Amino acid sequence: MKYIINFDDFSEDNNRLDLLEKLKSEMPNFKATLFTVVGRCSDKFIERVKQYDWLDMCPHGWRHTTIYGDVNDWVLHPTIECKDWTAKDVYEYVGAISRFNLTPVFKSPGWLLSEEAYKKFYELGYWIADLPNNEQKWYKKDKMYIYDSPFKVATHIQNIGTYAETKFGNKGGLEKRFDYLLSLKGNDFIFIKEYLGI
Ligand SMILES: [Zn+2]
């Protein structure tokens, strides 16, 4: 069976490349998609990560802003960065990250994205990674990556849990789920972009 592993909240200040490399050394065919908080990465860091052909970065907000603003413990607070994004906000975001040529699959921090933003991302050629229960906000259904299977594993770089993880028994982050991830040895792994045929 092919597993599609993704880690959320990847950034220069939250990267755990040490553990990712450890997984790779144990499982030579390991690959993972990294939903990346682009504004928390230097250009140099992104260029460095792009050298790993077994890691694929997709955008996951700019600063992952919370209800308290751009705080350091952003991972622990409700994240609202894209909740009220206008079409112009999406246009400017896509423009700001275009130089990195990341895979065009966007996931909103905290699963909160305005209806206007769903539409604008679609018009700009982006796919959206999302939970099935956000369906009423989708602009179209043909360019969505939906967490609807236990083989689509969503977890985090840091150790927190979300709906998608608990639903399929993958609570925790890279460190807490390390043994689980190692138990997948012998399976095939593919990127989200391969699954979607991008
Ligand atoms: Zn996130």
Domains of the chain, residue spans: 2-196
Ligand 1 centroid to residue 10 C-alpha, Å: 8
Structural domain 2-196, CATH architecture: Alpha-Beta Barrel (3.20)
pLDDT at 171: 61
Ligand 1 centroid to residue 38 C-alpha, Å: 11
pLDDT at 69: 84
pLDDT at 27: 98
More confident: 66 or 88: 88
Interhelix angle 115-123/87-97, rounded to 10 degrees, is 50
pLDDT at 167 over 70: no
Structure tokens at 139: 């602009």
185 Cβ neighbours under 8 A, 6+ residues apart: 26, 27
Ligand 1 centroid to residue 27 C-alpha, Å: 26
Ligand 1 centroid to residue 63 C-alpha, Å: 10
Ligand 1 centroid to residue 184 C-alpha, Å: 24
Ligand 1 centroid to residue 31 C-alpha, Å: 20
Nearest partner of 87 among 128, 126, 60, 119, judged by Cα: 119
Cβ count within 10 A of residue 17: 17
Interatomic CA distance for residues 145 and 6, integer angstroms: 12
Alpha helices in the chain (DSSP H): 17-26, 43-49, 87-97, 115-123, 163-167, 178-182, 192-196
Ion ligand 1 contact residues with beta carbon within 5 A: 8-9, 109
Structure tokens at 42: 């230097």
Total residue count of the chain as it appears in this document = 198
pLDDT at 67: 83
Ligand 1 centroid to residue 24 C-alpha, Å: 23
Interatomic CA distance for residues 172 and 158, integer angstroms: 8
Nearest partner of 53 among 69, 33, 68, 36, judged by Cα: 33
- What is the rounded average pLDDT for all residues in the chain? 92
Mean pLDDT value of segment 150-173:
71
Ligand 1 centroid to residue 136 C-alpha, Å: 21
